[in-house]
Amino acid sequence: MNLWESPPFEPYIRDGKLYGRGSSDNKGNITNRLFAIDSLLTALADLPCTIKFLIEGEEEISSENLEAFVEGNVNLNRADACIWEFGGVDHRERPTQYLRLCGICYIELEVETASMDVHSGLGGSIIPNAAWRLICALNSLKVPNEKIQLPGFYDKVKLPSEQDRDDMCELPDMA
């Protein structure tokens, strides 16, 4: 907390930029959309369409209640289009859009190699080190080409259809 130049849970504008917890993920994106709507209302006096916001705060815990809410409110959620609050720019400063980004993977590893702490001068160099065992375990999860090595990890992954691939080829190159 002491590294923040302003309170992290309060929005703060410095040098024309917004600072605060969530300003680049969720809160900032939602705020941008609200300001855009405000600007449209100022310019047009009325919106040319109905705008609905579904703001969900459980993304960090796999959105456990979102599916039931959506299924239970089909008419409320009916829309012609949807804009997700997630996004940004790529390394060439091009806006990016993510399609079908979902899922969560949670893995917890515990390593114990001795029943008590062992000082390196008292045999610690010959007793297996839990930190190194953990490093080896983490290293085995993924190979250098980024492929995940966990059994079953890819079992339910849907590959892009031929239509998906054709659609991706039609995306304009913004560079």
Per-residue pLDDT reduced to its tens digit, 102-118: 566 677 888 988 888 77
Rounded to an integer, the average pLDDT of 54-81 is: 83
Structural tokens at position 72: 């239970």
- Given a cut of 50, whether residue 148 has pLDDT beyond it is yes
Question: Which of 102, 129, 159 represents a domain boundary (last residue)?
Answer: 102
Average pLDDT, the chain: 81
- Based on the domain organization, do 31 and 84 belong to the same domain? yes
Task: Count structural domains, the chain.
Answer: 2
pLDDT at 130: 87
Per-residue pLDDT reduced to its tens digit, 114-137: 888 777 777 667 888 888 899 999
- Based on the domain organization, do 85 and 126 belong to the same domain? no
- Based on the domain organization, do 120 and 154 belong to the same domain? yes
Instruction: Determine the distance from the C-alpha atom of residue 60 to the mean position of all C-alpha atoms in its chain, rounded to a whole number.
Output: 8
In a domain, 146, yes or no: yes
- Based on the domain organization, do 42 and 119 belong to the same domain? no
Q: Kindly report the CA angle at 7 between 4 and 8, in degrees rounded to 5?
A: 70
Candidates 59, 39, 55, 35; CA nearest to 47 is: 39
- Based on the domain organization, do 12 and 95 belong to the same domain? yes
Residues 62 and 105: their CA atoms lie apart, in Å, by 9
Question: Which of 80, 102, 124 represents a domain boundary (last residue)?
Answer: 102
Higher pLDDT, 42 or 61: 42
- Domain extent, residue 55, equals 1-102
Q: How confident is the model at residue 43 (pLDDT cuts 50, 70, 90)?
A: very high
pLDDT at 97: 60
- Based on the domain organization, do 16 and 90 belong to the same domain? yes
C-alpha count within 13 angstroms, C-beta hemisphere, residue 61: 6
In a domain, 35, yes or no: yes
pLDDT at 67: 86
> C-alpha distances in angstroms, 140 versus 53, 73, 98, 143, 146?
42, 43, 28, 7, 11
pLDDT at 116: 82
Residues 139 and 172: their CA atoms lie apart, in Å, by 37
